[in-house]
Every structure is written in C-alpha cells, then in structure tokens.
Amino acid sequence: MSAVTQPGAQPYYFVPAPSRHPASVALGFLLIVFGASQWVNGAPWGAWVLLAGFVIWLFVLQQWFRQAIGESEGGMYGKRIDVSFRWSMSWFIFSEVMFFSAFFGALYWARRHALPDLGNLDNAVLWPDFKAVWPSVAPGYNRLARRHDRAVSRRWARGRSRPSTPRSC
C-alpha cells in the first residue's frame, strides 16, 4: 500500500514533513521571556535579548506562513483538508468564546454572589473589619489621568501663550 497520491489527484489527507518551525518559535519565545525579565530587573542587555527574541519569532512566523501558503498553492491541500482547516478554526473560535464566557461568568458570580456572602453578619465574627466592596483601579487610574491632564494642559497653555508668528516662505 502506498500513501503517495497519484499525479493530478487530490490527496485524501496531507501529512507535512517534520519541521524546525515549532522549535525555532519556542527559542524565540524563550529569548523574549528571558530578555523581558532581565530588562525589567535592570540588566541593560535584556532589551537586546528581548529584541532578538522578537526578531527570531517574526522571522520564523514569516517562514512558516510562506511554507503553508506554498503548500496550499502547490496543490498539496485538497477539499477535505480545506474543510478540516475551516472546522479547526471554527472549533478554536468556539473554544475561545466558551473560555471567556466562563471567565467573565465566574467574575460576575464572584461579584454578585460570593462577595455579599462574605460581607454578611455570619462572617463578621471571623473578619470584623471586612468591607464587602469590589476592589477598583479607579484611584490609580484617576491619579494617572490627572497627571496626564496637567501635563497636556501645561503644553497647551504654553503653546497658546506665545504670539503667533507668520511663517516665512
């Protein structure tokens, strides 16, 4: 039995040759994580390692897409494989929708049901100083917004306070 497709016939399935792309992408991601962690911790060379990781990752991604497009346009994919790709993408999108639905559903449940239960009188004996309010990022955001607004206002005021001078041609 031969798994080779006869010339001119559409293959039943396509098994790609072993590829170096997954290992190369993993190396790029390793350099990204290592470089970012070192850069955040103050190592001056960390930014260069991070940049090298991004360059490797983007280069391999470009090669991988080029190879997949070449396989597709070279007639290596048949109708069944095309349908398989479409179903795979549909299932991926469905899984993402379900994941985020579960995540935000759990967040809603925690805010709506769990937090008030923690703040009721039964738990006041265990935690007398507990306040049943959801934490907010508003104080930090408000401080950042005020600083940004102040800086923009100063620039705007400086720009407006100067007399306008005609431009020379």
CATH of the domain at 44: 1.10.287
- One domain, residues 73 and 83: no
Which of 59, 77, 95 delimits the end of a domain?
Answer: 77
What is the total count of domains within the chain? 2
- pLDDT in the model for residue 4: 63
- One domain, residues 60 and 84: no
- Nearest Cα to Cα of residue 50 among 23, 58, 66: 58
Residue 167: inside a domain: no
- One domain, residues 44 and 72: yes
CB count within 10 Å of CB 32 equals 18
- pLDDT in the model for residue 1: 38
- One domain, residues 92 and 111: yes
CB count within 10 Å of CB 76 equals 15
- One domain, residues 31 and 63: yes
Which of 77, 102, 127 delimits the end of a domain?
Answer: 77
- pLDDT in the model for residue 84: 87
- One domain, residues 61 and 25: yes
Q: Is the dihedral of CA 15, 16, 19, 21 positive or negative?
A: negative
- One domain, residues 101 and 151: yes
Taking CA 131 as the corner, what is the angle to CA 125 and CA 134, rounded to the nearest 5 degrees? 140
- One domain, residues 111 and 146: yes
* Residue 34 belongs to domain spanning: 19-77
- One domain, residues 119 and 59: no
pLDDT tens for each residue of 61-74: 999 999 988 888 88
Residue 163: inside a domain: no
d(CA 56, CA 16): 22
Which of 53, 77, 101 delimits the end of a domain?
Answer: 77
User: Residue 26: CB partners within 8 Å, gap ≥ 6?
Assistant: none
Compute the half-sphere exposure of residue 118: CA atoms within 13 Å on the CB side of its CA: 14
- One domain, residues 149 and 93: yes
Residue 87: inside a domain: yes
- One domain, residues 88 and 145: yes
Per-residue pLDDT of the chain (169 residues; tens, 9 = 90+): 345 666 666 666 667 788 999 999 999 999 999 999 999 999 999 999 999 999 999 999 999 999 988 888 887 777 888 888 899 999 999 999 999 999 999 988 888 887 777 777 677 777 777 777 766 666 666 667 667 666 666 666 666 555 555 555 5
- One domain, residues 33 and 90: no
The DSSP secondary-structure symbol of 52 reads H
d(CA 152, CA 160): 12
Beta-strand (E) ranges in 62-135?
Answer: none
Q: Whole-model pTM?
A: 0.51
